[in-house]
Amino acid sequence: MAELVIRRGLEEPDTAGSFVPHKPQRPEKTDGGKAFRIVSDYEPAGDQPQAIAELVGAAKEGERTQVLLGVTGSGKTFTMAKVIEELQRPALVLAPNKILAAQLYGEFKDFFPDNAVEYFVSYYDY
**Residue 42: CB atoms within 10 Å:** 12
Interatomic CA distance for residues 73 and 64, integer angstroms: 26
Residue 12 lies in a domain: no
Residue 87 lies in a domain: no
> Could you tell me if 69 and 78 are in contact, meaning their C-beta atoms sit under 8 angstroms apart?
no
pLDDT at 75: 93
Range of the domain at 118: 93-126
pLDDT at 28: 74
pLDDT at 1: 44
pLDDT at 23: 79
Residue 31 lies in a domain: no
Residue 126 lies in a domain: yes
pLDDT at 110: 97
Residue 117 lies in a domain: yes
Residue 106 lies in a domain: yes
Burial class from Cβ neighbours inside 10 Å (0-12, 13-18, 19+) for residue 51 reads: buried
Q: Tens of pLDDT along the chain (126 residues)?
A: 455 444 556 676 666 777 677 778 877 766 667 899 999 999 999 999 999 999 999 999 988 889 899 888 999 999 999 999 999 999 999 998 899 999 999 999 999 999 999 999 888 766
Interatomic CA distance for residues 112 and 67, integer angstroms: 22
Number of domains observed in the structure of the chain: 1
